[in-house]
Amino acid sequence: MARQLAPVVESCVVIRENSPAETQAWVALWLETFAADELEQILMEPVATITSEELREESSARVWALVMYLAKHPGEQSREEFYSFWLAYCYDAEVLNGGHLQYFHNRGTDDALATISALRSIGAEAQAGLLEVSLQKVLDDPVNRVGSLEEYSRLASERSFRAEDSAYYSGSRPVLELLEIHYAGLLQECISVSP
């Protein structure tokens, strides 16, 4: 049984800098250290459960369950399997709610390059391009955090991402839809469905 789990273990322990031999060594160590039933629990335990009725009523219920889980467990947002999902989701949510200004005001620029990469990985090329253009604007003229709605209103009147926001809202395939397609396997694994 443990040997059947080797491909799953391998997918979890592959680190970019590891050579194939190092990866094989890690897999062997995991397989020797844990019993098969322990490995299955470690690697395949769902993080959330939805009902079959919820899934019937909302085809994206698994996406929303993962989003809610990550929102409630900030420490999980940086886990390798969730990180790109979370970055792309947050970018989309911020821009849809208040445009690129809101995204940069709330999230800064630290994760912008990783977010661009996350968007590209799911096929959101247009959105990644808009974020690149917007990031360059912010790097050239930083967005300062403000402490009140009045100050934010003044900031919004001074800073414009109208062209980028308009392009974002019109036309491209929605990021949420692309996330659901790209992460279908992950969503199946980490969100269980009860009867």
What pLDDT, on the 0 to 100 scale, is given for residue 9?
47
pLDDT of residue 1: 42
pLDDT at 171: 74
Radius of gyration of the chain, Cα coordinates, nearest whole angstrom: 20
Phi (first) and psi of residue 87, to 5 degrees: -60, -50
Tokens of 44: 């395949």
- What are the domain boundaries of the chain? 3-44, 48-194
Mean pLDDT for back-to-back runs of 10 residues, the chain (195 residues) = 48 52 65 60 74 92 95 93 96 96 96 98 97 97 93 92 94 92 94 90
d(CA 44, CA 24): 20
pLDDT score at 160: 86
What are the DSSP calls for 41-61, one per residue?
Answer: HHHH--SEEEEHHHHHH-TTH
Residue 118 and residue 175 in contact, taking contact as beta carbons nearer than 8 Å: no
**For position 195, what pLDDT does the model report?**
86
CA–CA gap between residue 118 and residue 85 (Å, rounded)? 7
Tell me if residue 35 falls in helix, strand or coil.
coil
Angle (CA) 75-194-57 rounded to 5° is 90
CA-based nearest residue to 45, from 75, 3, 81: 81
Q: How far is 122 from 80, CA to CA, in rounded Å?
A: 15
Question: Token pair 């009860």 is at which residue?
Answer: 194
